[in-house]
Protein backbone atom coordinates (compact mmCIF):
# COMPACT_ATOMS: atom_id res chain seq x y z
CA UNK A 1 0.00 0.00 0.00
CA UNK A 2 1.40 3.33 -1.06
CA UNK A 3 0.02 6.26 0.97
CA UNK A 4 0.92 9.86 0.33
CA UNK A 5 -0.27 13.38 1.04
CA UNK A 6 -1.24 15.68 -1.77
CA UNK A 7 -3.01 19.00 -2.34
CA UNK A 8 -4.93 17.65 -5.33
CA UNK A 9 -5.62 14.14 -6.48
CA UNK A 10 -6.30 12.75 -9.94
CA UNK A 11 -7.60 9.45 -8.55
CA UNK A 12 -10.73 8.19 -10.33
CA UNK A 13 -12.35 7.21 -7.04
CA UNK A 14 -12.88 8.95 -3.71
CA UNK A 15 -13.84 7.76 -0.23
CA UNK A 16 -16.47 9.77 1.65
CA UNK A 17 -17.35 9.25 5.29
CA UNK A 18 -20.99 10.12 5.83
CA UNK A 19 -23.34 10.33 8.83
CA UNK A 20 -27.08 9.64 8.67
CA UNK A 21 -27.75 13.38 8.88
CA UNK A 22 -25.37 14.16 6.05
CA UNK A 23 -26.94 11.40 3.97
CA UNK A 24 -30.32 13.10 4.17
CA UNK A 25 -28.86 16.28 2.73
CA UNK A 26 -26.63 14.55 0.18
CA UNK A 27 -27.34 14.95 -3.54
CA UNK A 28 -26.82 11.16 -3.79
CA UNK A 29 -29.43 10.46 -1.14
CA UNK A 30 -31.91 8.84 -3.54
CA UNK A 31 -29.36 6.68 -5.34
CA UNK A 32 -27.84 5.53 -2.08
CA UNK A 33 -31.23 4.78 -0.59
CA UNK A 34 -32.14 2.68 -3.62
CA UNK A 35 -28.99 0.67 -3.01
CA UNK A 36 -30.19 0.06 0.56
CA UNK A 37 -27.46 2.22 2.12
CA UNK A 38 -28.50 3.98 5.33
CA UNK A 39 -25.11 5.24 6.52
CA UNK A 40 -25.05 2.79 9.41
CA UNK A 41 -21.68 2.53 11.08
CA UNK A 42 -19.29 0.15 9.29
CA UNK A 43 -21.41 -0.22 6.15
CA UNK A 44 -20.44 1.04 2.71
CA UNK A 45 -21.85 1.66 -0.74
CA UNK A 46 -19.71 2.06 -3.85
CA UNK A 47 -21.19 4.12 -6.68
CA UNK A 48 -18.77 2.69 -9.22
CA UNK A 49 -19.78 4.90 -12.11
CA UNK A 50 -19.39 8.05 -10.07
CA UNK A 51 -16.20 6.77 -8.47
CA UNK A 52 -17.58 7.45 -5.00
CA UNK A 53 -17.28 5.09 -2.06
CA UNK A 54 -19.59 6.11 0.80
CA UNK A 55 -18.87 4.72 4.26
CA UNK A 56 -21.30 5.21 7.13
CA UNK A 57 -20.11 6.73 10.41
CA UNK A 58 -21.94 7.73 13.58
CA UNK A 59 -19.68 10.77 13.98
CA UNK A 60 -16.39 12.11 12.72
CA UNK A 61 -14.56 11.00 15.89
CA UNK A 62 -11.28 9.10 15.42
CA UNK A 63 -12.72 5.76 16.53
CA UNK A 64 -15.45 5.93 13.90
CA UNK A 65 -13.11 7.15 11.16
CA UNK A 66 -10.56 4.44 11.97
CA UNK A 67 -13.11 1.63 11.73
CA UNK A 68 -14.75 3.19 8.65
CA UNK A 69 -11.37 3.41 6.91
CA UNK A 70 -10.89 -0.30 7.50
CA UNK A 71 -14.29 -0.93 5.89
CA UNK A 72 -13.36 1.38 3.02
CA UNK A 73 -10.07 -0.28 2.20
CA UNK A 74 -11.72 -3.70 1.96
CA UNK A 75 -14.31 -2.31 -0.46
CA UNK A 76 -11.56 -0.74 -2.56
CA UNK A 77 -9.69 -4.05 -2.64
CA UNK A 78 -12.83 -5.74 -3.95
CA UNK A 79 -13.14 -3.19 -6.76
CA UNK A 80 -11.00 -2.60 -9.84
CA UNK A 81 -9.83 0.83 -8.69
CA UNK A 82 -6.11 0.94 -7.98
CA UNK A 83 -5.86 4.52 -6.90
CA UNK A 84 -8.23 6.27 -4.54
CA UNK A 85 -8.31 9.55 -2.66
CA UNK A 86 -9.74 10.72 0.64
CA UNK A 87 -9.86 14.13 2.30
CA UNK A 88 -8.05 14.37 5.64
CA UNK A 89 -7.27 16.96 8.29
CA UNK A 90 -5.12 17.12 11.41
CA UNK A 91 -7.75 15.33 13.50
CA UNK A 92 -8.55 12.43 11.18
CA UNK A 93 -5.24 11.69 9.46
CA UNK A 94 -3.82 9.15 11.92
CA UNK A 95 -7.14 7.30 12.18
CA UNK A 96 -7.48 7.11 8.39
CA UNK A 97 -3.94 5.80 7.97
CA UNK A 98 -4.37 3.21 10.74
CA UNK A 99 -7.69 2.08 9.30
CA UNK A 100 -6.15 1.58 5.86
CA UNK A 101 -2.90 -0.09 6.93
CA UNK A 102 -4.41 -2.28 9.67
CA UNK A 103 -7.76 -3.00 7.99
CA UNK A 104 -6.05 -3.70 4.66
CA UNK A 105 -3.66 -6.19 6.22
CA UNK A 106 -3.78 -9.79 5.03
CA UNK A 107 -1.37 -12.55 6.01
CA UNK A 108 -0.78 -14.58 2.86
CA UNK A 109 2.57 -16.23 3.54
CA UNK A 110 1.12 -19.71 3.26
CA UNK A 111 -1.10 -19.11 0.23
CA UNK A 112 0.32 -20.52 -2.99
CA UNK A 113 -1.33 -17.68 -4.90
CA UNK A 114 -1.36 -14.46 -2.86
CA UNK A 115 -4.16 -12.16 -3.94
CA UNK A 116 -3.15 -8.82 -2.46
CA UNK A 117 -2.88 -6.02 -4.97
CA UNK A 118 -0.92 -2.84 -4.55
CA UNK A 119 -3.14 0.16 -3.90
CA UNK A 120 -2.27 3.82 -4.20
CA UNK A 121 -3.90 6.08 -1.68
CA UNK A 122 -3.82 9.85 -1.86
CA UNK A 123 -4.63 11.81 1.28
CA UNK A 124 -5.87 15.18 0.20
CA UNK A 125 -5.33 18.30 2.30
CA UNK A 126 -4.56 21.94 1.64
CA UNK A 127 -2.18 21.78 4.62
CA UNK A 128 -0.15 18.94 3.15
CA UNK A 129 3.21 20.19 4.48
CA UNK A 130 1.96 20.47 8.07
CA UNK A 131 0.62 16.95 8.00
CA UNK A 132 3.74 15.17 6.67
CA UNK A 133 5.07 14.46 10.18
CA UNK A 134 1.75 13.08 11.36
CA UNK A 135 1.61 10.77 8.36
CA UNK A 136 5.11 9.49 8.99
CA UNK A 137 4.32 8.79 12.66
CA UNK A 138 1.05 7.06 11.89
CA UNK A 139 2.76 4.84 9.31
CA UNK A 140 5.49 3.85 11.77
CA UNK A 141 2.95 2.81 14.40
CA UNK A 142 0.65 0.99 11.96
CA UNK A 143 3.53 -0.83 10.28
CA UNK A 144 4.96 -1.86 13.67
CA UNK A 145 1.52 -3.27 14.54
CA UNK A 146 1.53 -5.30 11.32
CA UNK A 147 5.09 -6.42 12.06
CA UNK A 148 3.78 -7.80 15.37
CA UNK A 149 0.84 -9.45 13.58
CA UNK A 150 3.17 -11.13 11.07
CA UNK A 151 5.16 -12.82 13.83
CA UNK A 152 2.05 -13.86 15.77
CA UNK A 153 0.62 -15.39 12.59
CA UNK A 154 3.78 -17.29 11.72
CA UNK A 155 3.37 -21.00 12.41
CA UNK A 156 5.14 -22.95 15.17
CA UNK A 157 6.93 -24.99 12.49
CA UNK A 158 8.85 -21.83 11.70
CA UNK A 159 8.97 -19.99 15.00
CA UNK A 160 10.43 -21.79 17.98
CA UNK A 161 12.57 -20.32 20.79
CA UNK A 162 15.71 -20.56 18.64
CA UNK A 163 14.29 -18.94 15.51
CA UNK A 164 12.43 -16.36 17.61
CA UNK A 165 15.78 -15.27 19.03
CA UNK A 166 17.21 -15.00 15.49
CA UNK A 167 14.25 -12.88 14.48
CA UNK A 168 14.82 -10.55 17.45
CA UNK A 169 18.50 -10.33 16.52
CA UNK A 170 17.56 -9.32 12.99
CA UNK A 171 15.30 -6.53 14.31
CA UNK A 172 18.11 -5.39 16.61
CA UNK A 173 20.49 -5.16 13.67
CA UNK A 174 18.05 -3.29 11.44
CA UNK A 175 17.04 -0.79 14.14
CA UNK A 176 20.44 -0.46 15.81
CA UNK A 177 19.35 -1.94 19.13
CA UNK A 178 21.51 -3.71 21.66
CA UNK A 179 20.84 -7.43 21.78
CA UNK A 180 21.74 -10.15 24.24
CA UNK A 181 20.41 -13.69 24.02
CA UNK A 182 20.65 -16.13 26.91
CA UNK A 183 20.71 -19.78 25.84
CA UNK A 184 20.20 -22.86 28.03
CA UNK A 185 23.67 -22.73 29.58
CA UNK A 186 23.41 -19.09 30.54
CA UNK A 187 19.86 -19.59 31.82
CA UNK A 188 21.19 -22.38 34.05
CA UNK A 189 23.87 -20.04 35.38
CA UNK A 190 21.15 -17.46 36.05
CA UNK A 191 19.13 -20.09 37.95
CA UNK A 192 16.08 -19.60 35.72
CA UNK A 193 14.78 -23.02 36.69
CA UNK A 194 11.08 -22.27 36.29
CA UNK A 195 11.53 -21.13 32.71
CA UNK A 196 13.85 -24.03 31.91
CA UNK A 197 11.37 -26.55 33.37
CA UNK A 198 8.54 -25.31 31.15
CA UNK A 199 10.69 -25.72 28.03
CA UNK A 200 12.31 -29.02 28.95
CA UNK A 201 10.23 -31.34 26.75
CA UNK A 202 10.71 -29.22 23.64
CA UNK A 203 13.28 -29.96 20.94
CA UNK A 204 14.22 -26.28 21.19
CA UNK A 205 15.58 -25.10 24.52
CA UNK A 206 14.35 -21.76 25.94
CA UNK A 207 15.91 -18.40 25.13
CA UNK A 208 15.76 -15.19 27.13
CA UNK A 209 16.00 -12.28 24.72
CA UNK A 210 17.07 -8.81 25.86
CA UNK A 211 16.91 -5.88 23.43
CA UNK A 212 17.65 -2.28 24.35
CA UNK A 213 17.09 1.06 22.69
CA UNK A 214 19.31 3.65 24.33
CA UNK A 215 19.05 7.15 22.87
CA UNK A 216 21.39 9.87 24.10
CA UNK A 217 19.81 12.04 26.81
CA UNK A 218 16.91 9.69 27.48
CA UNK A 219 14.30 11.33 29.74
CA UNK A 220 12.72 8.10 30.97
CA UNK A 221 13.52 4.43 31.19
CA UNK A 222 10.93 1.76 30.45
CA UNK A 223 11.14 -2.02 30.81
CA UNK A 224 8.82 -4.21 28.74
CA UNK A 225 8.45 -7.95 29.30
CA UNK A 226 6.75 -10.35 26.90
CA UNK A 227 5.43 -13.89 27.26
CA UNK A 228 6.84 -15.74 24.28
CA UNK A 229 5.35 -19.23 24.28
CA UNK A 230 6.05 -20.15 20.66
CA UNK A 231 3.60 -22.99 21.27
CA UNK A 232 1.46 -23.90 24.26
CA UNK A 233 0.23 -27.50 24.09
CA UNK A 234 -0.59 -27.28 27.80
CA UNK A 235 2.20 -29.73 28.62
CA UNK A 236 1.19 -32.85 30.60
CA UNK A 237 -1.98 -30.99 31.70
CA UNK A 238 -2.67 -31.23 27.98
CA UNK A 239 -5.12 -28.85 26.36
CA UNK A 240 -8.21 -30.33 24.72
CA UNK A 241 -7.81 -30.59 20.92
CA UNK A 242 -9.99 -27.60 20.10
CA UNK A 243 -8.32 -25.31 22.67
CA UNK A 244 -4.87 -26.13 21.30
CA UNK A 245 -5.68 -24.72 17.88
CA UNK A 246 -4.47 -21.07 17.74
CA UNK A 247 -1.89 -21.61 20.50
CA UNK A 248 0.84 -20.36 18.15
CA UNK A 249 -0.51 -17.01 19.36
CA UNK A 250 0.78 -17.63 22.89
CA UNK A 251 3.87 -15.65 21.85
CA UNK A 252 1.78 -12.50 21.21
CA UNK A 253 3.06 -10.66 24.30
CA UNK A 254 6.63 -11.11 23.08
CA UNK A 255 5.63 -10.06 19.56
CA UNK A 256 3.94 -6.93 20.99
CA UNK A 257 7.03 -5.78 22.88
CA UNK A 258 9.10 -6.29 19.72
CA UNK A 259 6.62 -4.13 17.81
CA UNK A 260 6.76 -1.47 20.50
CA UNK A 261 10.56 -1.20 20.55
CA UNK A 262 10.51 -1.12 16.75
CA UNK A 263 8.04 1.78 16.77
CA UNK A 264 9.84 3.69 19.55
CA UNK A 265 13.23 3.39 17.82
CA UNK A 266 11.80 4.49 14.48
CA UNK A 267 9.96 7.41 16.07
CA UNK A 268 13.28 8.22 17.73
CA UNK A 269 11.60 8.92 21.08
CA UNK A 270 14.05 10.03 23.77
CA UNK A 271 13.08 7.19 26.08
CA UNK A 272 15.30 4.26 26.95
CA UNK A 273 13.44 1.02 26.31
CA UNK A 274 14.43 -2.46 27.46
CA UNK A 275 12.63 -5.50 26.14
CA UNK A 276 12.85 -8.91 27.82
CA UNK A 277 11.28 -11.96 26.23
CA UNK A 278 10.92 -15.49 27.54
CA UNK A 279 10.85 -17.62 24.40
CA UNK A 280 9.78 -21.14 25.36
CA UNK A 281 7.80 -24.04 23.87
CA UNK A 282 5.48 -25.95 26.24
CA UNK A 283 5.41 -29.58 25.09
CA UNK A 284 4.94 -33.12 26.36
CA UNK A 285 7.50 -35.93 26.59
CA UNK A 286 9.29 -38.29 28.96
CA UNK A 287 11.27 -35.43 30.40
CA UNK A 288 8.40 -32.95 30.64
CA UNK A 289 7.86 -31.03 33.87
CA UNK A 290 4.93 -32.34 35.85
CA UNK A 291 2.03 -31.38 38.04
CA UNK A 292 3.46 -32.11 41.55
CA UNK A 293 6.93 -30.77 40.69
CA UNK A 294 8.31 -27.96 42.83
CA UNK A 295 10.39 -25.42 40.92
CA UNK A 296 12.85 -22.96 42.35
CA UNK A 297 12.48 -19.67 40.52
CA UNK A 298 15.34 -17.26 39.90
CA UNK A 299 14.10 -15.06 42.76
CA UNK A 300 14.52 -17.97 45.18
CA UNK A 301 10.77 -18.47 45.68
CA UNK A 302 9.63 -22.06 45.26
CA UNK A 303 6.57 -22.88 43.18
CA UNK A 304 4.33 -25.93 43.44
CA UNK A 305 3.20 -26.93 39.94
CA UNK A 306 -0.41 -28.05 39.98
CA UNK A 307 -1.12 -27.45 36.30
CA UNK A 308 1.50 -27.38 33.54
CA UNK A 309 -0.86 -25.32 31.35
CA UNK A 310 -0.37 -22.36 33.70
CA UNK A 311 3.13 -22.12 32.22
CA UNK A 312 3.23 -18.47 31.16
CA UNK A 313 3.40 -17.21 34.73
CA UNK A 314 6.31 -19.60 35.45
CA UNK A 315 8.27 -18.23 32.51
CA UNK A 316 7.39 -14.67 33.48
CA UNK A 317 8.43 -15.25 37.12
CA UNK A 318 12.02 -15.73 35.96
CA UNK A 319 12.00 -13.13 33.20
CA UNK A 320 10.48 -10.46 35.49
CA UNK A 321 13.14 -11.16 38.09
CA UNK A 322 15.96 -11.02 35.55
CA UNK A 323 14.59 -7.83 33.96
CA UNK A 324 14.38 -6.02 37.30
CA UNK A 325 18.04 -6.88 37.95
CA UNK A 326 19.29 -5.91 34.51
CA UNK A 327 17.31 -2.74 33.87
CA UNK A 328 17.57 -1.20 37.31
CA UNK A 329 15.80 2.04 38.15
CA UNK A 330 13.28 1.89 35.35
CA UNK A 331 10.44 4.39 35.59
CA UNK A 332 7.96 1.81 34.35
CA UNK A 333 7.74 -1.96 34.25
CA UNK A 334 5.08 -3.43 31.94
CA UNK A 335 4.45 -7.05 31.04
CA UNK A 336 2.34 -8.30 28.12
CA UNK A 337 1.03 -11.84 28.13
CA UNK A 338 -1.68 -14.07 26.67
CA UNK A 339 -1.98 -15.33 30.20
CA UNK A 340 -5.50 -16.59 30.89
CA UNK A 341 -8.67 -17.73 29.20
CA UNK A 342 -10.33 -16.25 32.29
CA UNK A 343 -9.48 -12.74 31.11
CA UNK A 344 -11.66 -13.34 28.06
CA UNK A 345 -14.48 -14.59 30.27
CA UNK A 346 -14.19 -11.47 32.43
CA UNK A 347 -13.84 -8.77 29.79
CA UNK A 348 -14.76 -10.32 26.46
CA UNK A 349 -12.51 -11.07 23.53
CA UNK A 350 -11.79 -7.52 22.52
CA UNK A 351 -10.45 -6.04 25.71
CA UNK A 352 -7.00 -6.11 27.30
CA UNK A 353 -7.05 -6.71 31.06
CA UNK A 354 -4.95 -4.29 33.10
CA UNK A 355 -3.71 -5.24 36.56
CA UNK A 356 -1.39 -3.57 39.03
CA UNK A 357 -1.16 -1.50 42.20
CA UNK A 358 -1.09 2.07 40.87
CA UNK A 359 -4.54 3.44 40.01
CA UNK A 360 -2.90 6.52 38.56
CA UNK A 361 -0.77 4.51 36.15
CA UNK A 362 -3.72 2.31 35.21
CA UNK A 363 -5.71 5.42 34.33
CA UNK A 364 -2.89 6.94 32.30
CA UNK A 365 -2.56 3.76 30.26
CA UNK A 366 -6.31 3.40 29.78
CA UNK A 367 -6.40 6.95 28.45
CA UNK A 368 -3.53 6.33 26.01
CA UNK A 369 -5.17 3.08 24.88
CA UNK A 370 -8.46 4.82 24.29
CA UNK A 371 -6.79 7.52 22.20
CA UNK A 372 -4.91 4.89 20.22
CA UNK A 373 -8.06 2.85 19.56
CA UNK A 374 -7.49 -0.12 21.86
CA UNK A 375 -9.94 -1.40 24.48
CA UNK A 376 -8.83 -1.95 28.07
CA UNK A 377 -10.48 -2.86 31.36
CA UNK A 378 -9.08 -2.82 34.86
CA UNK A 379 -9.25 -6.00 36.95
CA UNK A 380 -8.86 -5.31 40.69
CA UNK A 381 -6.57 -7.23 43.02
CA UNK A 382 -7.78 -8.17 46.51
CA UNK A 383 -6.37 -10.02 49.49
CA UNK A 384 -8.95 -12.80 49.40
CA UNK A 385 -8.00 -13.85 45.89
CA UNK A 386 -4.33 -13.59 46.86
CA UNK A 387 -4.83 -16.24 49.57
CA UNK A 388 -6.00 -18.75 46.96
CA UNK A 389 -2.40 -19.14 45.72
CA UNK A 390 -1.14 -20.49 49.06
CA UNK A 391 0.75 -23.78 48.91
CA UNK A 392 1.12 -26.39 51.69
CA UNK A 393 4.28 -27.67 50.06
CA UNK A 394 6.13 -24.72 48.53
CA UNK A 395 6.05 -20.91 48.77
CA UNK A 396 3.24 -20.55 46.26
CA UNK A 397 1.08 -22.60 43.84
CA UNK A 398 1.01 -21.91 40.13
CA UNK A 399 -2.81 -22.07 40.10
CA UNK A 400 -5.43 -20.84 42.50
CA UNK A 401 -7.47 -23.22 44.65
CA UNK A 402 -10.76 -21.83 43.34
CA UNK A 403 -11.78 -21.42 39.71
CA UNK A 404 -13.16 -17.86 39.73
CA UNK A 405 -11.19 -14.69 39.09
CA UNK A 406 -8.53 -16.59 37.17
CA UNK A 407 -7.13 -13.55 35.34
CA UNK A 408 -6.64 -11.76 38.66
CA UNK A 409 -5.08 -14.70 40.48
CA UNK A 410 -2.64 -15.03 37.56
CA UNK A 411 -1.80 -11.33 37.94
CA UNK A 412 -1.39 -11.82 41.69
CA UNK A 413 0.97 -14.72 41.03
CA UNK A 414 3.17 -12.38 38.95
CA UNK A 415 3.00 -9.78 41.72
CA UNK A 416 5.02 -12.21 43.88
CA UNK A 417 7.97 -11.62 41.56
CA UNK A 418 7.81 -7.82 41.51
CA UNK A 419 10.36 -6.27 43.86
CA UNK A 420 9.03 -3.95 46.54
CA UNK A 421 10.58 -0.82 44.98
CA UNK A 422 8.85 -1.55 41.64
CA UNK A 423 5.30 -2.26 42.85
CA UNK A 424 3.96 1.16 41.86
CA UNK A 425 5.81 1.13 38.53
CA UNK A 426 4.46 -2.20 37.36
CA UNK A 427 1.41 -3.10 35.29
CA UNK A 428 0.41 -6.47 33.86
CA UNK A 429 -1.50 -6.62 30.57
CA UNK A 430 -3.45 -9.81 29.86
CA UNK A 431 -3.93 -9.84 26.09
CA UNK A 432 -5.31 -13.40 25.82
CA UNK A 433 -8.49 -12.15 24.15
CA UNK A 434 -7.36 -9.02 22.39
CA UNK A 435 -4.23 -10.39 20.71
CA UNK A 436 -5.88 -12.77 18.28
CA UNK A 437 -9.16 -13.05 16.41
CA UNK A 438 -10.77 -15.48 13.99
CA UNK A 439 -13.51 -13.02 13.04
CA UNK A 440 -12.78 -9.46 11.90
CA UNK A 441 -13.67 -6.56 14.21
CA UNK A 442 -12.77 -2.85 14.11
CA UNK A 443 -9.41 -2.57 12.28
CA UNK A 444 -8.60 -6.20 13.01
CA UNK A 445 -8.66 -9.00 10.48
CA UNK A 446 -8.22 -12.77 10.92
CA UNK A 447 -5.18 -13.62 13.04
CA UNK A 448 -2.92 -11.55 15.28
CA UNK A 449 -4.21 -8.06 16.05
CA UNK A 450 -1.01 -6.47 17.34
CA UNK A 451 -2.74 -5.64 20.65
CA UNK A 452 -0.54 -3.54 22.91
CA UNK A 453 1.54 -1.87 20.22
CA UNK A 454 -0.65 1.14 19.54
CA UNK A 455 -1.59 1.76 23.18
CA UNK A 456 1.94 1.49 24.56
CA UNK A 457 3.52 3.54 21.77
CA UNK A 458 0.92 6.21 22.38
CA UNK A 459 1.63 6.18 26.12
CA UNK A 460 5.37 6.51 25.53
CA UNK A 461 4.80 9.32 23.03
CA UNK A 462 2.88 11.30 25.64
CA UNK A 463 5.44 10.86 28.44
N1 LIG B 1 -1.93 -19.51 26.95
C2 LIG B 1 -2.94 -19.85 27.86
C3 LIG B 1 -4.03 -18.78 28.01
C4 LIG B 1 -4.88 -18.54 26.78
C5 LIG B 1 -6.06 -19.22 26.62
C6 LIG B 1 -4.51 -17.59 25.86
C7 LIG B 1 -6.84 -18.98 25.52
C8 LIG B 1 -5.31 -17.34 24.77
C9 LIG B 1 -6.47 -18.04 24.59
C10 LIG B 1 -2.36 -20.11 29.24
O11 LIG B 1 -1.08 -20.61 29.26
C12 LIG B 1 -3.25 -21.09 29.90
O13 LIG B 1 -3.37 -22.18 29.41
N14 LIG B 1 -3.89 -20.68 31.00
C15 LIG B 1 -4.80 -21.53 31.69
C16 LIG B 1 -4.61 -21.28 33.15
C17 LIG B 1 -5.29 -22.29 34.03
C18 LIG B 1 -4.62 -23.64 33.88
C19 LIG B 1 -5.22 -21.81 35.46
C20 LIG B 1 -6.21 -21.18 31.25
O21 LIG B 1 -6.49 -20.01 30.99
O22 LIG B 1 -7.02 -22.08 31.14
ZN1 LIG C 1 -1.01 -22.73 29.08
ZN1 LIG D 1 0.13 -20.11 27.60
- Summarised one tens digit per residue, pLDDT across range 287-303 is 999 999 999 999 999 99
What is the atom index within ligand 1 of the atom nearest the CA of 243? Answer: 7
**What is the 347 CA–ligand 2 centroid distance (Å)?**
19
Pairing between β-strand 220-232 and β-strand 332-337 as defined by DSSP bridges: parallel
pLDDT bracket for residue 352 (50, 70, 90): very high
Report the distance separating Cα 372 and Cα 375, nearest Å: 9
Tens digit of each residue's pLDDT (9 = 90 or more) over 177-224? 999 999 999 999 999 999 999 999 999 999 999 999 999 999 999 999
Judge if the beta carbon of residue 309 lies within 6 A of ligand 1.
Answer: yes
Expressed in angstroms and rounded, the spacing between residue 228 Cα and the centre of ligand 1 is 13
**Hey, is 44 helix, strand or coil?**
strand
Q: Is the CB of 406 under 6 A from ligand 1?
A: yes
Q: Which of 233, 309, 349, 429 to mutate to test the pocket of ligand 1 (most atoms within 8 A of CB)?
A: 309
Residue 331 has pLDDT above 90, yes or no: yes
Residues forming the active site? 239, 313
Q: For residue 199, give Cα distances in angstroms to 114, 121, 185, 206, 244.
A: 35, 46, 13, 6, 17
Instruction: Determine if ligand 1 sits within 6 Å of the CB of residue 341.
Output: yes
User: What is the distance in A from the centroid of ligand 3 to the CA of 245?
Assistant: 12
Give residue-wise pLDDT tens across range 64-119. 999 999 999 999 999 999 999 999 999 999 999 999 999 999 999 999 998 888 99
Measured from the Cβ of residue 14, the count of other Cβ atoms closer than 10 Å reads 18
Ligand 1 atom nearest to CA at 312: 11
Domains along the chain?
2-126 (3.40.220.10), 142-462 (3.40.630.10)
> Could you please report the per-residue DSSP string of 145-198?
HHHHHHHHHS-TTT--HHHHHHHHHHHHHHTT-EEEEE-HHHHHHTT-HHHHHH
Which pLDDT value is given to residue 144?
99
Q: Which residues contact 312 (CB under 8 A, 6 or more apart)?
A: 227, 229, 232, 250, 337, 338, 339, 410
User: What digits encode the pLDDT tens for the residues 220-237?
Assistant: 999 999 999 999 999 999
Ligand 1 mutation pick, 238, 341, 400, max ligand atoms within 8 A of CB? 341
Give 14's strand partners: 52, 85
Best of 310, 314, 340, 345 for a ligand 1 pocket test (most atoms within 8 Å of beta carbon): 340
According to the model, what pLDDT value does residue 116 have?
80
Q: How far apart are CA 402 and CA 129, in angstroms?
A: 59
Q: Determine the pLDDT at residue 115.
A: 87
pLDDT, tens digit, for every residue of 427-460? 999 999 999 999 999 999 999 999 999 999 999 9
pLDDT digits (tens, 9 = 90+) for 35-56: 999 999 999 999 999 999 999 9
pLDDT of residue 356: 98
- pLDDT given for residue 117 in this prediction: 82
**pLDDT at residue 34 in the model:** 96
Please provide the average confidence, as pLDDT, over all residues in the chain.
98
Nearest alpha carbon, ligand 1 atom 7: 341
Ligand 1 atom with least separation from CA of 307: 18
Q: What is the pLDDT of residue 211?
A: 98
The ligand minimizing its distance to the Cα of 431 is 1
pLDDT for 67 equals 98
**pTM of the predicted structure, to 2 decimals:** 0.98
Amino acid sequence: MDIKLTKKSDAKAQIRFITKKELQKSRYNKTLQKAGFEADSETSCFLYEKGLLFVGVESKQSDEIRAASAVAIKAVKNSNFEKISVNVDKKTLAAVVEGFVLGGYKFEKYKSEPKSKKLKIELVSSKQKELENLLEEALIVANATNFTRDIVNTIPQEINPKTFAELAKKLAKENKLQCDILDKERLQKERCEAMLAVGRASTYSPRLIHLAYKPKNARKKVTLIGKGLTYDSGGLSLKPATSMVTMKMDKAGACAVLGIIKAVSELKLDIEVHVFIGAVENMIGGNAYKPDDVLKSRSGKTIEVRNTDAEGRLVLADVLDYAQDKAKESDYLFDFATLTGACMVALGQYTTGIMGHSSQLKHAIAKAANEAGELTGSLPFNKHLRKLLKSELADICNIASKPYGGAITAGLFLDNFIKEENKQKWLHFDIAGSAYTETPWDVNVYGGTGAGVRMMTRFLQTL
